[in-house]
Amino acid sequence: MKYIIELNHPKHYYQFKQVMLTLQSHGHEVKVLARDKDVLLNVLREEGVDYTLFGKHSKSMAAKIFGTFSLIANYLAIVRKYKPDVIVSKASWYGTFAAWLTGRKSVIFPDSEVVKLTNRYVVPLCTKVVTPDSFRLDYGKKHCRVAGIYEDCYLSPQVFQPDPSVVDQYGLQRPYAVLRFVGWFANHDVGQGGFNSEEKQQLVRELSRNMTVYISSERELPTDLQQYRLPTPASQIHHVLAFADLYVGDSQTMAAEAALLGTPAIRSNTFVGANDMSNFIMLQEQYGLLYNIATPAEAIRQAAQLSLNSKKEEWLHKREQYYSRVGDINAQIVSLLESV
């Protein structure tokens, strides 16, 4: 079979990396489509991945609307030339719409119940929806569930071994904390937010008393925080997180990644609350791997406490317990894709 795998975020690449390799080892053809967003293209180049660019990410709503037409036109041209059997994406409207227009099958992998675009426009067009088994919504006959969450695709002990030489190579000073601040440019981020500039500065001041601080940020950092920028390339971030003693940020993805790597993790943004996403609730309530904290002030207080008393060994034990209960999620996904 011929597959298109669409990537719009670095996480998408890592989520589908082992799946793509396995599909190819089974004799299938895989074509990677990528959009220029965040550090995705840097990651693909660093990893030596052959990809086709189908468009750029736009930050303003007006640019998003007008850019949609060129993205769809580019996508359709690629689909008509390559003639895939299946288009696979995280939950892309572009991929599912192009598949629907050209009579192809499409499979999406959402893990966030709160993204209205997915629920309203993407799910109705796709052939199959695959979600973690903790996912609260039910999409009927087209809905398939897999054990675990999608970060397991690239962080489980079966596929990822942290490399301590990365810490030495880039001169990271332990104990250290990794802070991640996102740009809040995505469609599903409209009306949402995390740490403001003052809160970022306060967080750095608190943590710097007890550990070295490194920052990864989508937005330009204030001048006084530039010195804390993480010096490692984007492709090494999981090794950096694995040896960190603390993670704090408003990122969704990196919070889950840090937790699954056995690093005490704090996630704080406006998504946190009664209607929060099931994967984050599960990591906190079932496994104690993550703090979901709605207010930045409370997140800063919790981070300051953790910086005084590192719980790294405790988190690594929790990680072992988690993975003792989760099977091979990549094998589950490959099986589903081969049966579409």
In tens, the pLDDT along 248-290 reads: 999 999 999 999 999 999 999 999 998 899 999 999 999 999 9
* Predicted confidence (pLDDT) at residue 189 exceeds the cutoff of 80: no
Query: How confident is residue 163, by pLDDT bands cut at 50, 70 and 90?
Result: very high
Can you tell me the mean pLDDT for 13-25?
A: 96
- Give the predicted TM-score (pTM) of the model: 0.86
Q: Where in the chain is the domain with CATH 3.40.50.2000?
A: 2-146, 165-325
pLDDT at 185: 60
Q: Which residue would you say has higher pLDDT here, 292 or 186?
A: 292
Can you tell me the mean pLDDT for 180-202?
A: 77
Question: What dotted CATH number matches 2-146?
Answer: 3.40.50.2000
pLDDT at 6: 98
* Predicted confidence (pLDDT) at residue 59 exceeds the cutoff of 80: no
The CA-atom distances, in angstroms, between 26 and each of 2, 14, 21, 29 are 12, 19, 9, 9
pLDDT at 145: 96
Q: Which residue would you say has higher pLDDT here, 39 or 231?
A: 231
Using a pLDDT cut of 90, give the percent of the chain over it: 80
* Predicted confidence (pLDDT) at residue 307 exceeds the cutoff of 60: yes
Quote the mean pLDDT of the chain: 92
* Predicted confidence (pLDDT) at residue 228 exceeds the cutoff of 60: yes
pLDDT at 220: 86
Can you tell me the mean pLDDT for 206-221?
A: 94
165-325: what fold?
Rossmann fold (3.40.50)
pLDDT at 198: 93
Q: Is 189 exposed, middle or buried (0-12, 13-18, 19+ CB in 10 A)?
A: middle
* Predicted confidence (pLDDT) at residue 62 exceeds the cutoff of 50: no
Instruction: Evaluate whether 113 touches 135 at the Cβ level (below 8 Å).
Output: yes
Q: Which residue would you say has higher pLDDT here, 159 or 309?
A: 159
Q: Is 173 exposed, middle or buried (0-12, 13-18, 19+ CB in 10 A)?
A: exposed
- Angle, in degrees to the nearest 10, between helices 253-260 and 278-285: 30
Instruction: Evaluate whether 329 touches 156 at the Cβ level (below 8 Å).
Output: yes
